[in-house]
Structure 1
Amino acid sequence: MISRRDVVTDSAIAVVAEQGVRGLTHRAVDALAELPVGSTSNVYRTRDALVTGIMERIGELNSQQLERLPDLLRDSGKPVDVITVDFCMNWLTADRNRFYTMIMLSLDPALPDEAVDAKQKNMRKIDEFVMRLADVDAEMARTINSSIMGMMVSELIAGTADRPSVEVFIAHFLKWHRSAAVSA
């Protein structure tokens, strides 16, 4: 069963995705979650606490998704490029609200210190995951993340989430990565 905190936080993620960072208010979250007025402020007393809760929830959901990826790679029989494209497309479509909110809040210069800490923890976990999965060092993991994240942000900006474009990017990226690994 999903907790009240998760209902509030998941609704807050959707509010940011639909209304932008400026639209994030306790009342907007209550309305979207169809909760009585004041429910969000009972869970998160301040807007900063709500923003921090969003960043922590995003990190939690990202970690859950990443933890399932090695089993998917092993059990699905799909090649790594197809699974990578599927993963990217999932973040650009089904999990678009989470990805969009993660990017928007990450770029917010007024992000509270606790939310910055949650954002950095999330990025470290993603880097560590890539290090294990791709068997690369920390610098290469950051390069991989930056490259793929940049492509995904470009898709968000374009408003396309175009699978053929993502497939081409991933094919070129994996070709580059393999050639970089051979020359290293």
Structure 2
Amino acid sequence: MARNPERRAALLDAAIEVLADEGARGLTFRAVDARAGVPTGTSSNYFTDRDQLLSQVGDRIFVRLTPEPGSVDTAMRPEPSRELVVELMRWLARRLAAERTCYLGLFELRLEATRRPELRDQLTKVLRHDLDLNIRLHLEGRMPGDADTVRLLYFALTGLLFDHFTVPGLHDDRELDDLIETVVRRIVPAD
């Protein structure tokens, strides 16, 4: 098995693009090699099978979606308030929109996980860790609301971004920032 970490990352990034553009059924070693611009057969030197590729694509997506060190602390500096939650949700939405391909790839992985128990277990573990971290940061930051507030915000933002990325004309009369503000004002208790 090949051990060039830069090449592995490039192959995984290409796999994310294939996943986002063609779905899980289009994710083949040949498609990844073509997207990465490497000779046919290169991916099979890095991944033993498609399941391993899917698993490592999931890991790579979460690496790319993880904020830069210190950026969360910086974002949480202002006084806790519902307005700060609005700004944090907008910041998160902008970050995810900047990684649109990763986010679409994650949607595809989630669908594929309904058919692959190992992938489902991996995604559940990572998403649960992320949600637990968000709940902890919210509570420790003395933001208005409780753990269920964070869960509802998670559900709302996931749905908003799913619509935004897959059927962008659905809410054509409303900007994403405005929808986020409405969601936060309806879910997060007043200061």
Settle same-fold status: TM greater than 0.5. Answer: yes
Deviates more, 1:36-45 or 1:131-140: 131-140
Question: Structure 1: any 5+ residue segments left out of the alignment?
Answer: none
Task: Give the structure 1 partner of residue 161 of structure 2.
Answer: 152
Deviations 1:46-103 (A, max 9, x none): 11111111112222333x32754423314699954234213213312x2001000101
Instruction: Supply the distance in 2 between the matched residues of 1:46 and 1:175 (Cα, whole angstroms).
Output: 46
Q: Is the 8 A contact 1:59 1:119 kept in 2?
A: no
Task: Give the structure 2 partner of residue 175 of structure 1.
Answer: 185
3-state secondary structure, aligned to 1:36: coil
The alpha carbon displacement at 1:106 in A equals 0.2
Residue from 67, 72, 75 that aligns with 1:73: 75
Asked if 1:90 corresponds to 2:92, the answer is no
Deviations 1:151-172 (A, max 9, x none): 111112213597x622112211
Superposition pairs for residues 1-184 of structure 1, below 5 Å? 3-62=6-65, 64-65=66-67, 68-74=70-76, 79-92=84-97, 94-108=98-112, 111-135=115-139, 138-159=147-168, 165-179=175-189
Instruction: Supply the distance in 2 between the matched residues of 1:115 and 1:87 (Cα, whole angstroms).
Output: 25
- Residues 97, 45 of structure 1: alpha-carbon distance in 2 compared, 3 angstrom cutoff: same
Which has the larger helix fraction?
A: 1
Instruction: Supply the distance in 1 between the matched residues of 2:114 and 2:51 (Cα, whole angstroms).
Output: 9
| Aligned residue type for 2:74 | L
3-state secondary structure, aligned to 2:89: helix
Superposition TM-score, scaled by structure 2 size: 0.78
Q: Is the 8 A contact 2:113 2:119 kept in 1?
A: no
The alpha carbon displacement at 1:34 in A equals 1.3
The alpha carbon displacement at 1:126 in A equals 2.1
Q: Is the 8 A contact 1:73 1:80 kept in 2?
A: no
Instruction: Supply the distance in 1 between the matched residues of 2:31 and 2:8 (Cα, whole angstroms).
Output: 15
Instruction: Supply the distance in 2 between the matched residues of 1:129 and 1:69 (Cα, whole angstroms).
Output: 15
